[in-house]
Amino acid sequence: MYTAPFQYLRANSVADAEQLFKEHADAKYLAGGQTLIPTMKQRLATPPALIDIGRIGALSFIRREKDKLVIGAGTRHADVADSAEVKAAVPALAVLAGQIGDPAVRHKGTLGGSLANNDPAADYPAAALALGARVRTTRRVIDAREFFTGLFETALEEGEIITEVAFPVPERTGYAKFPNPASRYALVGVFVAKFRDAVSVAVTGAAPCVFRHTEMERALARSFSPDAVAGVKVSADGLNSDLFASAEYRAHLIGVMAKRAVAAALQ
Amino acid sequence: MIVNGKAVRAEVEDRTLLVHFLRDQLRLTGTHVGCDTSQCGACVVHVGGRAVKSCTIFAVQADGEDVLTIEGLAKDGTLHPIQQAFQDHHGLQCGFCTPGMIMTALDLLRRHPKPDDATIRRELEGNFCRCTGYINIVKAIRAAAGTV
């Protein structure tokens, strides 16, 4: 299967990439390509030019800085999953990265690509939102809480590139997902982060966009245990309903995945 | 690009997928196109030492890289230990998925030299066998452990 014709351009730096973007109207950035290329093969996307940012070495790193973990936007899922630094600082982030797609996809797909695409069933948005990550771009720093704006929509402007993401290191983290058995995307995924003074719970896969479950957060702040989650009623209002799962089933799964995520965080 | 240890140079259209470059231009037809939607893993090759789906990467992205395909495994007519294990343990039926299975097996055995069955099965998540011969595929990979 061939994509529509396009012009391939390779960027050697983010500055180079932004310059190329200015010179080529309607171009798209190509990072790992694990979503973009299948989309182009189905002709659901037909960009006239691709700017390859997947080989910019400076975008690929994992670094611990005191109370945060900073990961370059070009870092592959497999590298996050295997990183001793990630496992030590935010263990659930390594677990999450190791559950994206399959091994071959994880060798190509990138953190920045996943966040920028903001697929409603992608895993990384849940971690970024729950942890209150700071998304650094070529132009500014965006709080994860303002970054995810809707279905496949983010606060990114035309041509703006994510360069790194800083994840605050909490006391405990847990991630549990119920994967679609075919695609491995989350039917429902729940990321739980326990900070010294607060708990945050982010849900992916269930609604048009990743969101925080504040009722669950309050219950877990009172008592950080799977039982605390069991008492929270999850509404099906606004949740997705499709051939894989009804909104009611997804609401039920949010409770189950949240319990599992908390149990994982307590291990 | 270095393919199976040999430097190759060619002009391709920008949109040429790596799998089409390998099959149609280099005539290395051991790498198969199964689903063409990034799900089945029949097209798995190694780029820069890592297993990737060659239907989900453009040939130009692999420019200058080291590429290893199923044709690069056997040496001087002797099957690679993983290939031999697939033969010994009847790890293939129709054989269509086998190149991808073996390239994935090589990648997983490099990362998990002594995998248990659960690890092998988890690592094969991206490879489909529509003859459903998974039991013998897992057996073959377990037998090949320690040989790569």
Q: What is the pLDDT of residue A112?
A: 98
Q: What is the pLDDT of residue A181?
A: 84
**Per-residue DSSP letters for chain A?**
--PPP-EEEE-SSHHHHHHHHHHSTT-EEESS-TTHHHHHHTTS---SEEEE-TT-GGG--EEEETTEEEEETT-BHHHHHH-HHHHHH-HHHHHHHTTSS-HHHHTT-BHHHHHHHT-TT-SHHHHHHHHT-EEEESS-EEEHHHHEEETTEESPPTT--EEEEEEE--SEEEEEEEE-TTT--EEEEEEEEE-SS-EEEEEESSSSS-EE-HHHHHHHHH--SHHHHHTPPPP-TT----SS--HHHHHHHHHHHHHHHHHHHH-
Tell whether A37 lies on the interface with B, counting CB pairs under 8 A: yes
Asked if the Cβ–Cβ distance from A182 to B39 is below 8 Å, we say yes
Pairwise CA distance, residues B20 & B8, whole Å: 15
For the segment A12-67, what is each residue's pLDDT rounded down to a tens digit? 999 999 999 999 999 999 999 999 999 999 999 999 999 999 999 999 999 999 99
pLDDT at B119 over 90: yes
What is the rounded average pLDDT for all residues in chain A?
A: 97
Residue bearing the bigger pLDDT, A244 or A182: A244
Give chain B's length. Answer: 148
- Residue A28's DSSP bridge partners are A50
Tokens of A57: 């070495």
Asked if the Cβ–Cβ distance from A38 to B56 is below 8 Å, we say yes
pLDDT at A1 over 80: no
The CA distance from A102 to the nearest CA of chain B, in Å, is 5
Asked if the Cβ–Cβ distance from A5 to B14 is below 8 Å, we say yes
Q: Given pLDDT bands bounded at 50, 70 and 90, which one contains residue A183?
A: confident
* Residue closest to B73 by CA, chosen among B102, B52, B115: B102
pLDDT at B6 over 80: yes
Asked if the Cβ–Cβ distance from A3 to B15 is below 8 Å, we say yes
Compute the Cα dihedral for A140, A144, A148, A149 and give only its sign: negative
The CA distance from A7 to the nearest CA of chain B, in Å, is 6
Q: Shortest CB distance from B44 goes to which of A7, A42, A104?
A: A104
Tell whether A48 lies on the interface with B, counting CB pairs under 8 A: no
Q: Given pLDDT bands bounded at 50, 70 and 90, which one contains residue A82?
A: very high
The CA distance from A18 to the nearest CA of chain B, in Å, is 19
Q: Shortest CB distance from B125 goes to which of A3, A38, A184?
A: A184
Tell whether B108 lies on the interface with A, counting CB pairs under 8 A: yes
Q: Given pLDDT bands bounded at 50, 70 and 90, which one contains residue A261?
A: very high
Q: What is the pLDDT of residue B148?
A: 85
pLDDT at A119 over 90: yes
Asked if the Cβ–Cβ distance from B56 to A33 is below 8 Å, we say yes
Pairwise CA distance, residues B116 & B141, whole Å: 10
Q: Which residues in A lie closer than 8 A to residue B36 (C-beta atoms)?
A: 1, 41
Tell whether B56 lies on the interface with A, counting CB pairs under 8 A: yes
pLDDT at B58 over 90: yes
pLDDT at A134 over 90: yes
Asked if the Cβ–Cβ distance from B15 to A2 is below 8 Å, we say yes
Question: Rounded to an integer, what is the distance from CA A210 to the centroid of its chain?
Answer: 9
- Rounded to an integer, the average pLDDT of B89-112 is 97
Element (H, E) at B67: strand B66-68
CA angle, residues A147, A171, A126, in degrees to nearest 5 = 30
ipTM value: 0.96
Tell whether A182 lies on the interface with B, counting CB pairs under 8 A: yes
Q: What is the pLDDT of residue A19?
A: 98
Interface list for B 66-85 with A (CB within 8 A): none
Q: What is the pLDDT of residue B134?
A: 97
Give chain A's length. Answer: 267
pLDDT at B42 over 90: yes
- Using DSSP, state whether B62 is helix, strand or coil: helix
Interface contacts A/B by beta carbons within 8 Å: 76
- Rounded to an integer, the average pLDDT of A85-94 is 98
